[in-house]
Amino acid sequence: MTALTAAPARAARATRPSCRRPVTASAQPTQRRTLLLTTGLTVLLGAGPALASPLNVGDVAPEFALPSTTGGVLSLESLKQAGKWTVAYFYNQDFSPGCSLEAARFQNALPAFAAVNAQVVGISMDTLEKHTEAAAKPASDCASKSLTFPLLSDGTGAVSKAYDAFLDLNFLGKYSDRQTFLVDPKGVVRAKWSERDGSMASVKSPAHTEQVLAAIKAAQEAV
Using only the alpha carbons of the chain, give its radius of gyration. Answer: 17
Q: How many domains does the chain have?
A: 1
Task: Kindly report the CATH number assigned to the domain that includes residue 144.
Answer: 3.40.30.10
Flag whether 1 is in a domain.
Answer: no
Domain annotation covers residue 74: yes
Q: Which domain holds residue 128?
A: 53-222
Asked if residue 170 belongs to a domain, the reply is: yes
Asked if residue 26 belongs to a domain, the reply is no
Alpha helices in the chain (DSSP H): 28-44, 76-81, 97-108, 110-115, 128-135, 158-162, 207-222
pTM for this model (two decimals): 0.77
Mean pLDDT score of the chain: 81
Residue 193 DSSP SS3 = strand
Q: What pLDDT shows up at residue 98?
A: 87
41 within a domain of the structure (yes/no): no
pLDDT in tens, 35-55: 444 444 333 333 334 445 689
Catalytic residues: 99
- Return d(Cα 197, Cα 103) in angstroms, integer: 21
